[in-house]
A and B are shown apart, each in its own frame.
Chain A
Amino acid sequence: MLYKATLGLLLLLSLSACSLEPWVKPYERANLADPIMSFSQDPLSQGYIHHVYQAREGARGAEGGSGGGCGCN
């Protein structure tokens, strides 16, 4: 049931989203493309600070930094 609902939702999304008009146009993304808006500005530094916390806290994962992006080529 859950599978069918998910499949239906994705089918709907795939039909509608391919023709979806982005509400933030590519030419409106100058601010988002500024390096100060990046989730991962300095990967080496970011990886180090995650390691500092991981070694001293019980929590782990979902630190972010890799992947993602703002799609502002």
Chain B
Amino acid sequence: MRAAQKVVPGAVVVVTKLSRLLLVLSLLLSCISANAAVLPFERADVLYHSYSGGGITINGPAVLVRKSIGDSVSVSAKHYIDTISSASIDVEVILGASTYEEERVENAFSVDYLTEKTLMSLGFTNSEENDFSADTFSFGISQDMFGDLTTVSMGYAHGSNTIGKTGDPNFSENSQSDNFNLSIAQILTKNLIMSAALDVTTDAGFLNNPYRKVRYVDTPTTFLLENEVYPKTRTSTAIALRTRYFLPYRAALHAEYRLFNDSWGITSNNIELGYTHPFTDNWIAEAHIRTYAQSRASFYKDLFPFSNAQNFLARDKELSTFSNSTIGFGISYEFAKGEGGFIDKASVNLKFDHIQFNYKDFRDATQTSFTPGTEPLYKFSANVMQLFLSVWF
């Protein structure tokens, strides 16, 4: 160590920091209780999803199967398809009233390993579109402690993306993302549980959409389009608090608050409240409301005063100032419960969400009878439906 200190002091600092980190972690993990975590339930889900709103229709199937191997290993596999048909406002402004169709296929695999005291997870996800490919590796560790009243989980994920552009075979860009997350779930009373989560994500590389354009004033009555230019890095932090409360007559209330901030200047928060009510032995009804609001990215503008008006340019409505509100319902019917045989339980579920988006500084540029910059503010609503079958075995 002394020799190393003379040669590469930087390396020693890293080693020292690493050893301190390991010491802190080992102390933290030494507080575990005798009773440890359990493997996730063995189950299979088959889901059909449908989103419709703002000129976009996305639907498709999804399948998730989770199976245990022995007492300490659980594996899962997921297959998910988005079939997208879009004539959204972004496409209309750039291409006119045309529709494009594409498909996204996602496959994910994970392995969970349970030792006496620790649950560790390894995961891999691949997502493929004709112009976008993404690979993500993840690692997580979860631990029950303090008499099983507390569960601490932490994880890391690394994503690597390749971005192409339809119609331009020479276009190829890359981006990477690194994600760190930490969460603590805490039993507070015999009817109340709470969790807190922290998430830090950093991106580097080509982060904008290769098709999307910004608009700038050409003459007082016309505008022109040019490519978006985004910063090459983005770092974001999100914290969330969630709670569930068991009511005296077997029903549950849940609440959630999340605060988000990033290096592009976006600050957002969302609140959700929900109620779950089982009735008879087979039915469970659920209802929830959610509101979300965000401020714009510092380089976002609906209409720039002239070409290349600033270093970074964006007119992505997801980076604008806006809010949305959701009202949602769900109903589940459980059957084949405790009848023996291969299946422990099964359920068929229907969920529906209605979301209303209201933009504060993104205008409907397809309305050509207005002077640029005076068009009505854009708004739209979306309907989200899920129908799925779950089987526990």
Contacts and interface: CB of A to CB of B under 8 A. Distances in A.
Interface of A: 3, 6-7, 10-11, 13-14, 17-18, 20-24, 26, 28-29, 31-32, 34, 36-37, 39, 42-45, 48-49, 52-53, 55-64, 66-73
Contacts of A45: 45, 47, 349, 351, 386, 388
Interface of B is mostly: strand
B62 A48 contact: yes
Residue among B20, B149, B184 with the highest chain A CB neighbour number at 10 A: B149
Contacts, number: 196
B319 A58 contact: yes
Interface stretch (B188-196, B304-312, B363-371): B188-196
B27 A11 contact: yes
B63 to A, nearest CB: 8
Interface stretch (B30-38, B93-101, B160-168, B222-230): B30-38
Interface of A is mostly: loop
B270 interface: yes
Given A10-B27, A62-B258, A52 B51 contact: yes
Interface string B162-201: 0000000000000000010101110101110101011111
Nearest to B108: A47
Interface string B354-393: 0001000000000000000000000000001010101000
Q: Which 9 interchain pairs have the tightest Cβ spacing? A: A22-B147, A61-B199, A67-B153, A71-B148, A59-B260, A62-B238, A68-B185, A61-B238, A62-B240
A37 B191 CA distance: 9
A36 B251 contact: yes
B88 to A, nearest CB: 11
A32 B193 contact: yes
A60 B31 contact: no
A73 B28 contact: no
A61 B147 contact: no
A45 B348 CA distance: 12
